[in-house]
């Protein structure tokens, strides 16, 4: 059997190449063996086996020195960058396996865009710096549809999932708040109920929508036996805050909007609360998703223990 046939049938041992490159750098069997944590005789056997497999003499040996042959020097120059690339590839594979490398697309409602979500993204940047994050605030397409179509990996939302292919977990609850201009007569101290605001113009999400969040608003109005005079409808929290700041009406929104509110509005906290859920595909075993879910749970616990604005 020829050397070429032997090589084709016995793929090169990556560890042998590592031993060869280490010896090519040290040019000393004892030093190399110590560096590679093997005995000198074992190193000699590995190098001899590699030479036999290649049919090439890699080193000129004498009692006083070890030198690379021309063939050895050629292989050193070719194998060094190859081994570095293999090492980089292995490191990347480990990071992918551990969920530290890759990407994740996260959907969110506007109410978490100022406090909770920035903290999640900040914590990802600190602990998983090589993870790419794409943030999506859906308008015309439902969160569930985007998740089921694999256009989104995780969503934070006010509604729990209805589709059985999705999993939802409640992260924390926060108070709802009456939001008024800074110079409005209602304060936290004198607020007695929404029934005092019959003459006020409200800026709200469309109450015709069939979402858990809108149902929460309706429930609050029912508890106060109150029908709001909805003057402006908007589903965009930042827009509502801006309109309230201009004195165009008042609103009810989750308290977390206070993180990004303009200075000329006030938040009057109500006893009623609204939940924040995170939702993902039930069969998604992505290690990236697993890491982000754990981070979100940790941050949600912090918010539940006092991170919400007061």
Asked if 203 and 250 touch (Cβ cutoff 8 Å), the reply is yes
Pairwise CA distance, residues 264 & 157, whole Å = 27
pLDDT of residue 8: 40
Please, are residues 268 and 191 in contact by the beta-carbon 8 Å criterion? yes
DSSP 8-state assignment for residue 110: G
Grouped pLDDT means (10 residues each) for the chain, 310 residues? 42 85 92 92 93 93 89 93 86 79 90 89 93 84 88 92 94 94 94 91 89 86 92 90 95 90 93 93 93 94 65
User: Left, alpha or beta for 55 (phi > 0: left; psi -120 to 50: alpha)?
Assistant: left
Q: Phi/psi of residue 228, each to 5°?
A: -75, 150
* Selection from 282, 255, 278, 281 nearest residue 160 by Cα: 278
Q: Which residues contact 165 (CB under 8 A, 6 or more apart)?
A: 148, 281, 282, 283
Q: What is the pLDDT of residue 159?
A: 86
Using DSSP's 3-state secondary structure scheme, residue 121 falls into helix
Q: Is 68 in contact with 24 (CB distance < 8 Å)?
A: yes
Query: Could you give the CA distance from residue 205 to residue 237 in angstroms, rounded to a whole number?
Result: 9
CB 107 within 8 A of CB 156: yes
Q: How far apart are CA 185 and CA 197, in angstroms?
A: 11
Q: What is the pLDDT of residue 139?
A: 66
**What 3-state DSSP class applies to 216?**
helix
Cβ-contact 158, 255 below 8 angstroms: no
Could you tell me if 299 and 120 are in contact, meaning their C-beta atoms sit under 8 angstroms apart? yes
Structural contact between residues 91 and 283, judged by C-beta atoms closer than 8 angstroms: no
Tell me if 153 sits within 8 A of 280, measured CB to CB.
yes
- What pLDDT shows up at residue 142? 83
State how far the Cα of 248 lies from the Cα of 246, in Å rounded to an integer.
6
pLDDT at 105: 95
pLDDT computed for residue 10 by the predictor = 52
219 in helix, strand or coil? Answer: helix
From CA 58, how far away is CA 77, in angstroms rounded?
13
Q: Which domains does the chain have, with CATH numbers?
A: 3-98 (1.10.10.10), 102-307 (3.40.190.290)
Instruction: Report the candidate in 220, 217, 115 with the shortest Cα–Cα distance to residue 171.
Output: 115
* pLDDT value of residue 259: 85
């Amino acid at each position: 059997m020829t050397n070429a046939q032997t090589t084709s049938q016995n793929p090169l041992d990556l560890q042998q190449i590592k031993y060869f490159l280490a010896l090519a750098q040290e040019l000393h069997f004892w030093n190399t063996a110590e560096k590679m944590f093997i005995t000198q005789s074992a190193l000699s056997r590995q190098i001899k086996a590699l030479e036999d497999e290649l049919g090439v003499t890699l080193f000129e040996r004498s009692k006083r020195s070890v030198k690379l042959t021309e063939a050895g020097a050629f292989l050193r120059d070719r194998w060094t960058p190859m081994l570095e690339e293999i090492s980089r590839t292995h490191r990347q594979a480990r990071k992918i396996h551990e969920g530290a490398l890759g990407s994740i697309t996260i959907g969110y409602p506007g109410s978490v865009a100022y406090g909770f979500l920035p903290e999640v993204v900040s914590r990802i940047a600190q602990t998983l710096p090589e993870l790419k994050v794409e943030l999506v605030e859906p308008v015309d397409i439902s969160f569930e549809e985007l998740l089921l179509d694999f256009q989104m990996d995780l969503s934070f939302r006010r509604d729990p999932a209805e589709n059985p292919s999705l999993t939802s977990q409640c992260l924390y609850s926060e108070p709802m708040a009456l939001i008024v201009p800074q110079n409005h007569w209602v304060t936290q101290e004198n607020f007695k109920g929404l029934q005092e605001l019959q003459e006020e113009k409200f800026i709200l999400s469309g109450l015709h929508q069939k979402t858990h969040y809108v149902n929460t608003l309706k429930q609050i109005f029912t508890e106060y036996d109150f029908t709001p005079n909805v003057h402006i409808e908007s589903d965009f929290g930042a827009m509502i805050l801006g309109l309230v700041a201009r004195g165009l009406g008042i609103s009810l929104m989750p308290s977390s909007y206070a993180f990004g509110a303009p200075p000329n509005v006030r938040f009057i906290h109500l006893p009623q609360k609204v939940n924040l859920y995170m939702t993902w595909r039930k069969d998604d075993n992505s290690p990236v998703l697993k890491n982000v879910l754990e981070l979100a749970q940790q941050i949600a616990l912090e918010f539940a223990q006092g991170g919400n604005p007061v």
